[in-house]
Copies of this chain bind each other. A is one copy, B any other.
Amino acid sequence: MILKNDLLLRTARGEPVERPPVWLMRQAGRILPQYRALRERLSGFKELVETPALAAEVTIQPVDELGVDAAILFSDILVIPEAMGLPYEMVEKKGPLFPKTIRSESDIGNLVAGEDAAARLNYVYDALELTRKELDGRVPLIGFAGAPWTLLAYMVEGSGSKTFSRAKRMLYQEPVLAHHLLEKITQTIITYLRAKTRHGADLIQVFDSWAGILSPAMYREFGAPYLQQICSAITEAPVTVFAKGAWFALEDIAQMDCQVVGLDWNISPEEGRRRIGREKVVQGNLDPCYLYADPEQISIATQKMLDAFGGRHIANLGHGVYPDTPLDGVRAFVEAVKHYRYE
């Protein structure tokens, strides 16, 4: 299928472009009235993730409503732990909860991995194909996965946490066990992401959402090597690595076989670029709270950010858009990027 708007892909490949492409992490979600209306009719979050027609519908909503330059398939990073044998519930206002967690080598032995796990995620591949068909080439479609360390964190902790100290405890007390688990998760992610590219994902983003709670030394041991394995294995589509909070690892990430590096809002565009270098494309990084400001201010701040990155850049926030963000704020951000032109 020929894309009518391939700005994201041209940018990710490092080609010269007229302006940066723009999309928002979590653009398919509660910021949109259409999404909230649909959610109200459903039993819960997982019904949306697991029903291809619904996932496709909410994936396309922000393309219609906001005119962003990419769609990102509505899904959850925790579909992989579930496919590996750890089902989870999404508890309203509390977040994910895993009744079973990983404690021992035998727990790891019981996990399904690689092809066998990825084969359980047909509903994701179906959602991708359906979305791609319905998008009809309007914009590229992004597929994502959680990074190995972030998935380990949930699989060991069993829920969200401020400190993930149970998961981190495993790294310090049983590093061999942790590496074994990370290997199994990594194999599964690779198989899953390659399948996603076959079923219609034009670009892949890997979210290491909890990278920032590890020390630089621990991230170098338990985080970065597995990310690099994924980056090397995915050759079918450009890959974006977004390791939230891991400013200290940006030089390492810049050496990986990925095309795009995501930045959170805790780093200035200048320092981000300095750490990543000019080789990679960068993505980010406006503070999501900036979208609470009035539209004119948002417009100015966005232009300033685009100037500061100065090309080889995909405009986005530094984190997922917050559910209570006014739609006018989101629009001001998107429009500011779409009106921008590189000299």
Task: Give CA–CA (A325, B44) in the complex, Å.
Answer: 37
State the Cβ distance, A26 to closest chain B Cβ, in Å: 12
Q: Does A123 contact B (CB under 8 A)?
A: no
- This chain: copies in complex: 2
Q: Cβ of A172 and Cβ of B292 under 8 Å apart? A: yes
Q: Cβ of B248 and Cβ of A271 under 8 Å apart? A: yes
Q: Which of A138-177 contact B (CB under 8 A)?
A: 162-163, 165, 168-169, 171-173
Task: Give CA–CA (A266, B247) in the complex, Å.
Answer: 9
Task: Give CA–CA (A213, B289) in the complex, Å.
Answer: 10
Interface segment, A11-19, A50-58, A190-198, A215-223? Answer: A215-223
Q: Does A268 contact B (CB under 8 A)?
A: yes
Q: Which of A275-320 contact B (CB under 8 A)?
A: 287-290, 292-294, 297, 318
Point out the residues of chain B lying under 8 angstroms from A288, CB to CB: 163, 165
Q: Does A324 contact B (CB under 8 A)?
A: yes
CB nearest to A212 among chain B residues: B266
Q: Cβ of B215 and Cβ of A173 under 8 Å apart? A: no
Q: Cβ of B217 and Cβ of A172 under 8 Å apart? A: no
Q: Does A35 contact B (CB under 8 A)?
A: no
Q: Which of B212, B287, B324 contacts A218 (CB 8 A)?
A: B287
With A292-B169, A292-B172: A216-B268 Cβ-Cβ less than 8 Å: yes
The dominant DSSP class at the A interface is helix
Q: Cβ of B216 and Cβ of A172 under 8 Å apart? A: no
Q: Cβ of B322 and Cβ of A287 under 8 Å apart? A: no
Q: Which of A225-268 contact B (CB under 8 A)?
A: 245, 247-248, 265-268
Q: Cβ of B248 and Cβ of A165 under 8 Å apart? A: no
Q: Cβ of A290 and Cβ of B322 under 8 Å apart? A: no
Task: Give CA–CA (A214, B318) in the complex, Å.
Answer: 11
Chain A residues proximal to chain B, CB less than 8 Å: 162-163, 165, 168-169, 171-173, 212, 214-218, 245, 247-248, 265-268, 271, 287-290, 292-294, 297, 318, 322, 324
Q: Could you list 24 A-B pairs, sorted by A, with CB under 8 Å?
A: A162-B162, A163-B288, A163-B289, A163-B322, A165-B289, A165-B292, A165-B324, A168-B292, A171-B289, A172-B289, A172-B297, A173-B292, A173-B293, A173-B294, A212-B266, A215-B265, A215-B268, A216-B271, A217-B268, A245-B266, A247-B247, A248-B266, A248-B267, A248-B268
